[in-house]
């Protein structure tokens, strides 16, 4: 494979078995990165796609909500392929409901993956980045980090935390060679969206899909490849002067603030 923007960089991407994470993993590999996927579920589809395109990728099953699971996977990756240059914290789960409809167990589940999962991966990897004097961390936040979105109490809480963790890490490590940024997408058309519509709106999928699309003023959802394009820039040397930033990629949603 020809040299690309991430040539010979070693990237760890969480939740890359499908959706946005899959698109990021494929794009990184196409740009020359050596990709390690951490996913609770099977990532064979992503691995096959990368391999067929001539890229390098490996996968390990890990539960990001469990620090021991993350640390074990990271230790194995370091032993097999050496220092990690890029960490993309993409793994996340959703919850629908306002504060009255959100139970304590719902909050704990969202917090465990979307907040502690980000913490666990940064905690396990950033020390090695400091030791080598360079590294990039990219967190997947959301427009829900800064906008009030109806019936997304727990999810918004978690993505607000991702945004502020990004700022904290960027500030603490700006003089240690480690950059940290986050991406704040609006709705992205992934298999999760299709599955949600099929489950909750059987027979009305097309109508609801259009309604969800029109939420973005631009009139459609984002494509996973568009998120991957921004992620590639932020993790490349081209963004060497960028840290502590939250990038909206939202089809105009923040215009309505």
The residues annotated with a catalytic role in the active site are 155
Beta strands in 158-238 (DSSP E): 178-185
Instruction: Give the count of alpha carbons within 13 A of 257, CB side only.
Output: 10
- Let me know the angle formed at the C-alpha of 124 by 107 and 106, rounded to the nearest 5 degrees: 10
Sign of CA dihedral 15, 17, 20, 26: positive
Nearest in space to 156 (alpha carbons), one of 114, 104, 198, 123: 114
C-alpha gyration radius of the chain: 18
> The tokens 């996913």 sit on which residue?
39
């Amino acid at each position: 494979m020809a040299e690309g923007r991430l040539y010979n960089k070693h990237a760890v991407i969480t939740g890359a078995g499908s959706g946005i994470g899959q698109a990021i993993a494929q794009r990184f590999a196409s740009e020359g990165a050596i990709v390690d996927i951490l996913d609770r579920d099977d990532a064979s589809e992503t691995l096959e796609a990368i391999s067929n395109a001539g890229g390098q990728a490996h996968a390990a099953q890990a539960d990001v909500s469990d620090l021991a699971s993350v640390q074990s996977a990271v230790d194995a990756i370091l032993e097999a392929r050496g220092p990690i240059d890029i960490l993309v914290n993409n793994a996340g789960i959703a919850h629908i409901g306002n504060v009255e409809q959100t139970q304590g167990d719902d909050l704990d589940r969202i917090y465990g993956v979307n907040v502690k999962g980000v913490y666990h991966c940064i905690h396990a990897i950033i020390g090695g980045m400091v030791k080598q004097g360079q590294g990039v961390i990219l967190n997947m936040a959301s427009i829900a980090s800064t906008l009030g979105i109806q019936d997304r109490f727990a999810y918004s809480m978690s993505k607000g935390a991702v945004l502020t963790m990004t700022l904290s890490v960027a500030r603490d490590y700006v003089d240690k060679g480690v950059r940290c940024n986050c991406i704040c997408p609006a709705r992205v058309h992934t298999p999760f969206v299709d599955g949600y519509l099929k489950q909750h709106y059987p027979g009305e999928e097309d109508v609801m899909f259009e309604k969800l699309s029109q939420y973005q003023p631009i009139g459609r959802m984002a494509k996973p490849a568009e998120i991957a394009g921004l992620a590639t820039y932020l993790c490349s040397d081209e963004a060497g002067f960028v840290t502590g930033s939250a990038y909206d990629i939202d089809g105009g949603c923040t215009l309505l603030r």
